[in-house]
Amino acid sequence: MLMDSGEYYLDGMPHEEAEEKCKNTIKLLGLDHRIGHKPNELSGGQKQRVSIARALVGQPAILLADEPTGALDQTSGKEVLKLFRELNDMGNTIVMITHDLGVVANIADRVAVMYAGDIVEIGTADEIYYDPRHPYTWGLLSAMPDLDTADERLYTIPGSPPNLLHEKAGDAFAPRNKYALEIDDEIDPPMFKISDTHFAATWLLDPRAPKVEMPPELKDRVARMSAEAKKIEEAE
Which tops the pLDDT comparison, 68 or 136?
136
**Banded model confidence at residue 2, pLDDT cuts 50, 70, 90:** very low
Residues 6+ apart with CB under 8 A from 235: none
Assess contact for 121 and 112: CB atoms under 8 A. Answer: yes
| Confidence bin at 179 (pLDDT 50/70/90) | very high
Domain total in the chain? 2
Residue 49 in any domain: the answer is: yes
Helix (H, G, I), strand (E, B) or coil at 101: helix
2, part of any domain: no
- 8 part of a folded domain: no
Quote the domain boundaries for residue 166.
109-235
- 1, part of any domain: no
Distance of CA 182 to the CA centre of its chain: 32
Is residue 226 included in any domain, yes or no? Answer: yes
Interatomic CA distance for residues 192 and 197, integer angstroms: 11
- Arithmetic mean of pLDDT, 175-182: 95
- Which residue from 32, 232, 74, 206 is spatially nearest to 133, judged by alpha carbons? 206
Mark whether 68 and 133 lie in a shared domain: no
